[in-house]
């Protein structure tokens, strides 16, 4: 087998893992696919023989990591707040067992809350944390990508780990059926306009984030507190909308459909029977693209 064919076969073999690396690094499916295409161009032009590569998965992962690092460095500097106005792309799926591809993407229980925190890390911190803590790439290999000393690379991962720890991301309720009960109770209360019932299913410190792209919102895009979130949910509920149960990053969520067209995705984080976070996607074009697999 010639080297070019060997590289192509190894790349396809490890594509699910490589896509998962790019998704965690970039938070965007489109950017992740662009990164994989860029990585493949580099791989196909690499001046290395197949026989020289002892660990194909590790070698491919570091190449994808380097491409993603460059992409992150070219972006505008991220704000230090846990959310800068754009929600990362969620993994939207039908309400049921996950596909093998989604299972790879969502390994380590990658919820939206963690993905949002990852967006606050510096590019170098994010690479060190994602490759080491999520994909078990050895520090010397990560250091080579970053062109840093091994000790400095370990410090980057440690700082990122502290940032994630400080964010105090709650451990979501694992029983999706129980999550669904809480989500259904939320929508039932919103439908009835029952403010007290809405408050009763919300954690006192619940946070609600809304990303409508370029659409100007009549209300703040980020609100905190059970009563404030409940009031916004009560005002924003549209009785004519159809609510289709879906999964977002493996958790109970809803796809809002109006006149046969998907318009919103509503993702919930449920902890100990209460909603601690509500993330709303409202850009119709983006929603349609993200929800394509669930609608099929």
Q: Domain 3-77+93-166: what homologous superfamily?
A: PhyR, sigma-like (SL) domain (1.20.140.160)
Q: Residue 19: its pLDDT value, please? A: 94
Q: Residue 160: its pLDDT value, please? A: 94
CA 265-207-107 angle, to 5 degrees, is 60
**Could you report the per-residue pLDDT of 75-127, keeping only the tens digit for each?**
754 444 455 578 889 889 888 666 656 555 565 556 777 888 888 899 999 99
> 176-295 domain in CATH 3.10.450.50?
yes
Q: Residue 117: its pLDDT value, please? A: 85
Q: Which two tokens stand for residue 14?
A: 């490890």
CATH 1.20.140.160 domain position(s) in the chain:
3-77+93-166
Q: If we measure between CA atoms, which residue out of 189, 193, 295 comes closest to residue 245? A: 295
Q: Residue 80: its pLDDT value, please? A: 44
CATH 3.10.450.50 domain position(s) in the chain:
176-295
Q: Residue 263: its pLDDT value, please? A: 92
**Could you report the per-residue pLDDT of 185-215, keeping only the tens digit for each?**
999 999 888 999 999 999 999 999 999 887 7
* 23: Cα separation from own chain's centroid: 7
d(CA 72, CA 5): 30
Q: Are strands 222-224 and 274-281 parallel, antiparallel or unpaired?
A: unpaired
Q: Where are the beta strands (DSSP E) in the chain?
A: 92-94, 202-211, 222-224, 242-248, 251-258, 261-271, 274-281
d(CA 255, CA 49): 48
Q: Distance between the two ends of the chain, CA-based, in angstroms?
A: 39
Regions in the chain scoring below 70 on pLDDT: 1, 76-84, 96-110, 170-173, 217-220, 235-238, 296
**SS3 assignment, position 147:** coil
Q: Residue 79: its pLDDT value, please? A: 44
Q: Residue 40: its pLDDT value, please? A: 94
């Amino acid at each position: 087998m010639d080297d070019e064919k060997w590289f192509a076969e190894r790349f396809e073999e490890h594509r699910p893992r490589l896509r998962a690396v790019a998704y965690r690094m970039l938070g965007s499916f489109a950017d992740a696919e662009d990164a994989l295409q860029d990585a493949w161009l580099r791989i196909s032009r690499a001046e290395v023989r197949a026989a020289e590569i002892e660990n194909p998965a590790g070698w491919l992962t570091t190449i994808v990591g380097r491409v993603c690092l460059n992409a992150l460095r070219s972006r505008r500097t991220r704000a230090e707040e846990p959310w800068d106005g754009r929600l990362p792309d969620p993994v939207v799926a039908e309400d049921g067992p996950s596909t093998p591809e989604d299972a790879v993407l969502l390994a380590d229980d990658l919820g939206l809350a963690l993905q949002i925190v990852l967006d606050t890390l510096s590019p170098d911190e994010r690479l060190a944390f994602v490759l080491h803590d999520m994909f078990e790439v050895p520090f010397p290999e990560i250091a080579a990508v970053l062109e840093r000393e091994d000790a400095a690379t370990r410090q980057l991962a440690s700082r990122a780990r502290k940032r994630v720890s400080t964010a105090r991301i709650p451990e979501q309720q694992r029983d999706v059926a129980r999550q669904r009960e809480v989500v259904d109770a939320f929508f039932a209360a919103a439908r009835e306009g029952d403010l007290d019932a809405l408050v009763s299913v919300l954690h006192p410190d619940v946070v609600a984030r809304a990303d409508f792209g370029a659409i100007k919102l009549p209300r703040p895009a980020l609100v905190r507190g059970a009563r404030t979130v409940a009031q916004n949910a009560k005002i924003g509920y549209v009785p004519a909308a159809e609510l289709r149960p879906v999964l977002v990053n493996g958790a109970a969520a809803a796809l809002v459909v109006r006149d046969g067209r998907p318009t919103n995705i509503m993702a919930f984080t449920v902890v100990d029977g209460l909603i601690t976070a509500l993330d709303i996607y409202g850009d119709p074009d983006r929603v349609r693209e993200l929800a394509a697999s669930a609608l099929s």
